[in-house]
Amino acid sequence: MKMNQTLLIELLTEELPPKALARLADAFAAGMINGLKARAFLETDSVATSYATPRRLAVSITKVRANSPDKAIREKVLPVSVALDANGNPTAPLAKKLAALANSANAATPGIADLERAPDGKADSFFYTYTAPGSMLQSGLRQTLEEAIDKLPIPKLMSYQRPDGSTVQFVRPVHRLTALHGNGIIPISILDLAAGDATLGHRFLSRDELTIAHADAYASTLEKQGKVIAGIAARKEKIRSALLAKAGGDQVLMPESLLDEVTALVEWPVVYECNFEREFLSVPQECLILTMQTNQKYFALTDAAGKLRSRFLIVSNLETADPQHIIQGNERVVRPRLSDAKFFFEQDKKKKLADRLPGLANVVYHNKLGTQAQRTERVRTLAGKIAGMMNADVALAERGALLAKTDLLTDMVGEFPELQGIMGTYYARHDGEPEEVARAISEHYQPRFAGDALPATVTGTIVALADKLETLVGIWGIGLQPTGDKDPFALRRHALGILRMLIEKRLPLSLGKLLADAVQLFAANPNFKNPSADAIAFLHDRLRGLLRERGYTQNEIEAVVAQQPDRLDNIIERLDAVHAFAVLPEAEALAAANKRIANILKKTAGATETVQPALLQEAAEKNLHAAMAQLQPQVNAAFAEGDFAGTLKALAALRQPVDAFFTDVMVMADDEQLRNNRIALLLNLHGMMNRVADISKLAQ
Q: Which helix (H) or strand (E) holds 440?
A: helix 435-443
DSSP 640-663: HTT-HHHHHHHGGGGHHHHHHHHH
Maximum average pLDDT range among 5-14, 73-82, 674-683: 5-14
What pLDDT shows up at residue 361? 97
Count Cβ atoms below 10 Å from residue 187 Cβ, excluding itself: 11
Q: 41-55: per-residue pLDDT in tens?
A: 999 999 999 999 999
Largest CA distance in the chain: 107
> For residues 21 and 27, what is the distance between their CA atoms, to the nearest angstrom?
10
**Mean residue pLDDT across the chain:** 94
Answer with the residue of higher pLDDT: 237 or 86: 237
What pLDDT shows up at residue 629? 94
Answer with the residue of higher pLDDT: 101 or 325: 325
What pLDDT shows up at residue 1? 43
**Mean pLDDT value across residues 526-553:** 95
Residue 217 has pLDDT above 70, yes or no: yes
- Binned at pLDDT 50, 70 and 90, residue 2 comes out as low
What pLDDT shows up at residue 700? 62
Q: 175-211: per-residue pLDDT in tens?
A: 999 999 999 999 999 999 999 999 999 999 998 899 9
- Provide, rounded to the nearest whole percent, the portion of the chain with pLDDT above 90: 83
Give every CB contact of residue 313 below 8 A, 6+ residues apart in sequence.
Answer: 243, 246, 247, 252, 271, 272, 273, 274, 298, 299, 301
Q: 71-116: per-residue pLDDT in tens?
A: 888 888 999 999 999 888 999 999 998 888 888 777 788 888 889 9
> For residues 437 and 671, what is the distance between their CA atoms, to the nearest angstrom?
68
What angle is formed at CA 85 by the lines to CA 79 and CA 86, rounded to 5 degrees?
A: 115
Tell whether omega for the bond before 447 is within 30 degrees of 0, i.e. cis: yes
What pLDDT shows up at residue 599? 86
